[in-house]
C-alpha cells in the first residue's frame, strides 16, 4: 500500500507542491485527511500522483494538441484509407504543433498512434495493408508529449454503415465511459467508477476486459495508479484533488477473454473474434468534482 506522507515535513517548511507557501497553510490539512483514510485501511495516493498547478497547466497544453489531432482524424477518416495514413496524419499534425507522438518508439512500438479495428481490443499497429471498409469500427488512440507533459485519449469511429449490433456497442461504450466519469470526485474511490462501468456493461449484455485498464498520466506516459473497471464500490485507491488518470474501459460484445498477437507482440484481440469498443478520456480530480483534460 503506498504511503502518502513520504517524509514528515515541518509545519513552517515550504510545501511539497512547490506553491511557495508554508506547509501548514497549503497541504498539511490535505495530507492529514488522506492519512486518516489510510489509517482506516484505504489505499491512498502518494505525492508523486498529485499534480501541482504548474504540472496541471502543462498537461492541459499537451491535451489541447492531443484533442486537435483527434479532431483532425475525425474530419478526415473515411472508407478506403489505410491505417498507415492515419498514422501519418497523427505524426504530421502532432509535430506541426511542436509536440511528439508519445507512442512512437515507446517500448519499441513502431508507430505514432494505435488503430484497433473490429475485434482488435487495443494497440493495433497502423499498416498499409489495413484498409478501412464500410462496416468497420475503429479506435484511434492518440497520445502527445508537449514540453515534457503527456496527454492521452481515444475515440471510436464507424466507417460508413455498420450493423445495428456494432453501432450499439460503440454508442453504449461511450455512455458507459461517461457514467464512470460521473463517479470521479474527491474522497471517493476508483472502485466507485469501476462498479458503475462493470454493472452497466453487463446490463447491456457486454463484458469488460480485466487485464488492461487505465492509468495515471501527465508527467509520464503511464503512471500509477493502474485503473481497473471491474472493481467494487468503496474499494481501490482513494481519489483526491490533483490526481490525473485515464478512463478507458474496453467493452467486448462477447467474451472478456483476450490474446496478444504473437507476431508483433502488441495488438490485443478478443478471444472469440467478436467486436470490441473503447473510448478514452483523461480526467483531473478537482476540489469539487472533475475536469476532462483530453477526449
For residue 26, being part of any structural domain is answered with: no
Domain that holds residue 275: 43-294
- Check residue 7 and give its pLDDT: 65
- What distance in Å separates the CA atoms of residue 212 and residue 250, rounded to the nearest whole number? 8
| Total domains in the fold of the chain | 1
Question: What's the pTM value of the predicted model, to 2 decimals?
Answer: 0.94
- What distance in Å separates the CA atoms of residue 26 and residue 159, rounded to the nearest whole number? 51
For residue 128, being part of any structural domain is answered with: yes
Whether omega before 225 lies within 30 degrees of 0, making that bond cis, reads yes
The answer to which of 14-23, 36-45, 220-229, 277-286 has the lowest mean pLDDT is 14-23
CATH number for the domain harbouring residue 231: 3.90.230.10
Predicted confidence (pLDDT) per residue in 153-187, tens digit: 999 999 999 999 999 999 999 999 999 999 999 99
Q: Please state, for a pLDDT cut of 90, what percent of the chain lies above it.
A: 91
Percentages helix, strand, coil for the chain (3-state, rounded to 5) are 30, 25, 45
Cα-based distances in Å from 214 to 227, 238, 246, 249, 280? 4, 15, 5, 7, 9
**Cell representation of residue 81:** 484509407
Taken in order 49, 51, 56, 58, the sign of the CA dihedral is negative
For residue 29, being part of any structural domain is answered with: no
Identify whether the C-beta of residue 207 lies closer than 8 Å to the C-beta of residue 201.
yes
For residue 259, being part of any structural domain is answered with: yes
Predicted confidence (pLDDT) per residue in 19-29, tens digit: 889 988 889 99
- Check residue 5 and give its pLDDT: 45
Identify whether the C-beta of residue 32 lies closer than 8 Å to the C-beta of residue 23.
no
- Check residue 276 and give its pLDDT: 98
Read off the pLDDT of each residue in 265-287 and give the average, rounded to a whole number. Answer: 98
Cα-based distances in Å from 3 to 38, 49, 157? 8, 11, 41
The mean predicted confidence, pLDDT, of the chain is: 96
- What distance in Å separates the CA atoms of residue 120 and residue 114, rounded to the nearest whole number? 11
For residue 278, being part of any structural domain is answered with: yes
For residue 31, being part of any structural domain is answered with: no
For residue 19, being part of any structural domain is answered with: no
Residue closest to 211 by CA, chosen among 259, 178, 172: 259
- Check residue 24 and give its pLDDT: 83
For residue 156, being part of any structural domain is answered with: yes
- What distance in Å separates the CA atoms of residue 181 and residue 56, rounded to the nearest whole number? 19
The total number of residues written for the chain in this structure: 295
CA 135, distance to chain mean position in Å, is: 26
Q: How confident is the model at residue 215 (pLDDT cuts 50, 70, 90)?
A: very high
Residue closest to 286 by CA, chosen among 14, 51, 17: 51
- Check residue 6 and give its pLDDT: 53
Predicted confidence (pLDDT) per residue in 103-136, tens digit: 999 999 999 999 999 999 999 999 999 999 999 9
Amino acid at each position: 500500500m503506498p504511503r502518502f506522507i513520504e517524509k514528515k515535513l515541518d509545519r513552517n517548511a515550504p510545501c511539497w507542491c512547490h506553491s511557495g507557501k508554508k506547509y501548514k497553510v497549503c497541504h498539511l490539512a490535505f495530507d492529514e485527511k488522506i492519512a486518516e483514510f489510510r489509517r482506516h485501511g484505504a489505499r491512498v495516493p502518494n505525492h508523486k500522483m498529485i499534480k501541482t498547478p504548474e504540472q496541471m497547466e502543462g498537461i492541459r497544453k499537451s491535451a489541447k494538441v492531443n484533442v486537435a489531432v483527434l479532431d483532425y482524424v475525425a474530419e478526415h477518416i473515411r472508407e478506403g484509407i489505410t491505417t498507415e495514413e492515419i498514422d501519418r496524419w497523427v505524426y504530421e499534425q502532432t509535430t506541426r504543433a511542436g509536440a511528439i507522438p508519445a507512442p512512437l518508439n515507446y517500448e519499441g512500438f513502431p508507430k505514432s498512434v494505435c488503430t484497433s479495428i473490429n475485434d482488435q481490443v487495443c494497440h493495433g499497429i497502423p499498416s498499409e495493408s489495413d484498409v478501412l471498409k464500410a462496416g468497420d469500427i475503429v479506435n484511434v488512440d492518440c497520445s502527445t508529449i508537449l514540453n515534457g507533459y503527456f496527454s492521452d485519449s481515444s475515440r471510436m469511429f464507424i466507417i460508413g454503415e455498420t450493423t445495428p449490433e456494432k453501432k450499439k456497442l460503440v454508442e453504449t461504450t461511450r455512455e458507459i465511459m461517461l457514467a464512470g466519469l460521473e463517479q470521479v470526485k474527491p474522497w471517493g474511490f476508483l472502485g466507485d467508477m469501476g462498479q458503475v462501468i462493470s454493472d452497466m456493461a453487463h446490463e447491456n449484455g457486454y463484458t469488460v476486459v480485466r487485464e488492461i485498464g487505465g492509468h495515471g498520466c501527465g508527467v509520464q506516459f503511464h503512471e500509477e495508479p493502474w485503473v481497473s473497471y471491474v472493481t467494487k464500490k468503496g474499494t481501490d485507491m482513494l481519489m483526491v484533488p490533483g490526481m490525473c488518470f485515464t478512463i478507458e474501459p474496453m467493452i467486448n460484445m462477447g467474451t472478456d477473454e483476450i490474446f496478444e498477437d504473437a507476431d508483433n507482440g502488441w495488438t490485443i484481440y478478443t478471444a472469440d473474434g467478436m467486436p470490441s469498443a473503447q473510448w478514452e478520456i483523461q480526467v483531473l480530480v478537482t476540489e469539487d468534482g472533475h475536469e476532462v483534460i483530453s477526449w
